[in-house]
């Protein structure tokens, strides 16, 4: 247990520089995508060991979350293509019980989804109490891709009268409201922006082209989106500045080194679960009596 406490303290200290709870002072240029908090390339094996310890602790906390069945946790992942969303989700959640975890990937909205308000498809897929829900892209796309491509907004069925220059601030306000509502209901929200550099994204795209086993991951649409890099960075910065709150912080995770970004994500998930002070359900006096009777019966019989 002492080990766990130590691990926990380490995790909490580790994530501090990447957590944004008040966006007012946030500037994206202050975060270096290549940051590794002093870890060097030769420390990679040590970082991998730390991740394995983190994954074990996370699994234990998730077991209590599930058993207690009161709190829920929503993790939103946002990033440019090839920043490592899929890999982070896979590695960080590798130890958790699949029954207690739900992953949803949000793509361009379908005709049915466009027939509703933008939150509808996300609200429908929120995690139940006792579970961890992961959004691989989320309602935040409505302030990112939709902002970078005004034609997407024009293609939605939002009444024209409501599309004014205030629309992004209105969306931020609504998102903040919904996240506050969720946290007041015991569904905590944590948001991750995996911040990869433009240079590293190019390297990863080239790798997808060069390596036959990675060819399937390459999409020319992704390469096209790269052309809007600066507009995306502006949209990300404005989004974080407007939606980072104490109850639903953003983690701006340096993502040029996958082994490092996974460590930050794991530590942040541990922090969120730890903040719930989870424990296994207490058994009532009546239940204890029932258990004692069951023991006697079992002992008597073969
Ligand atoms: P990967 O490429 O790693 O498999 P991905 O998350 O990029 O994962 P894709 O199917 O490539 O998945 O892309 C999903 C696309 O859907 C993204 O380009 C994203 O911007 C777009 N998208 C998501 N939500 C919306 C939205 N509300 N409106 C328009 N486009 C959206
Ligand atoms: Mg993609």
**DSSP codes joined into one string, 220-244:** HHHHHHGGGHHHHHHHHHHHHHHH-
Q: Is 165 in the pocket of ligand 1 (CB under 6 A)?
A: no
Number of compact structural domains in the chain: 1
Supply the residue whose CA is at minimum distance from atom 25 of ligand 1.
108
Q: Is 37 in the pocket of ligand 1 (CB under 6 A)?
A: no
Residue 79 pLDDT exceeds 70? yes
Range list of β-strands (E), the chain: 19-20, 72-79, 101-105, 132-136, 187-195, 250-254
pLDDT value at residue 301 = 84
Supply the residue whose CA is at minimum distance from atom 26 of ligand 1.
108
**pLDDT band at 1; cut points 50, 70, 90:** very low
Contact (CB, 8 A) for 177 and 184: no
Q: Is 262 in the pocket of ligand 1 (CB under 6 A)?
A: no
Question: Which CATH number is 190's domain given?
Answer: 3.40.50.300
| Domain region containing 210 | 3-299
Q: Is 138 in the pocket of ligand 1 (CB under 6 A)?
A: no
pLDDT 10s digits, 236-257: 999 999 999 999 999 999 999 9
Supply the residue whose CA is at minimum distance from atom 15 of ligand 1.
107
């Amino acid at each position: 247990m002492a080990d766990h406490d130590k691990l926990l303290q380490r995790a909490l200290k580790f994530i501090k520089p990447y957590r944004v709870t008040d966006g007012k002072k946030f500037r994206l240029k202050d975060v270096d995508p290549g940051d590794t908090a002093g870890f060097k390339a030769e420390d990679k094996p040590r970082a991998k060991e730390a991740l394995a310890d983190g994954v074990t602790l996370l699994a234990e906390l998730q077991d209590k979350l599930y058993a207690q069945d009161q709190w829920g946790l929503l993790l939103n992942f946002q990033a440019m293509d090839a920043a490592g969303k899929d890999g982070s989700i896979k590695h960080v959640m590798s130890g958790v019980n699949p029954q207690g975890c739900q992953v949803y990937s949000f793509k361009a909205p379908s005709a049915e989804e466009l027939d509703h308000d933008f939150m509808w498809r996300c609200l429908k897929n929120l995690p139940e109490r006792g579970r961890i829900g992961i959004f691989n892209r989320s309602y935040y796309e409505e302030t990112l891709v939709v902002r970078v491509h005004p034609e997407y907004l024009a293609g939605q069925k939002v009444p024209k009268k409501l599309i004014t220059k205030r629309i992004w601030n209105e969306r931020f306000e609504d998102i903040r409201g919904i996240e506050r509502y969720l946290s007041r209901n015991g569904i905590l929200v944590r948001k991750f922006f995996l911040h990869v550099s433009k240079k590293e994204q190019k390297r990863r795209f080239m790798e997808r082209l060069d390596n036959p086993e990675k060819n399937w991951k390459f999409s020319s649409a992704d390469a096209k989106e790269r052309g809007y890099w600066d507009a995306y960075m502006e949209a990300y910065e404005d989004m974080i500045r407007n939606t980072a709150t104490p109850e639903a912080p953003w983690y701006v995770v340096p993502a040029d080194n996958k082994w490092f970004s996974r460590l930050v994500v794991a530590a942040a998930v541990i922090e969120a679960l730890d903040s719930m002070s989870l424990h296994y359900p207490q058994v009532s006096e009546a239940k204890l009596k029932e258990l004692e009777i069951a023991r006697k019966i079992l002992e008597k019989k073969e």
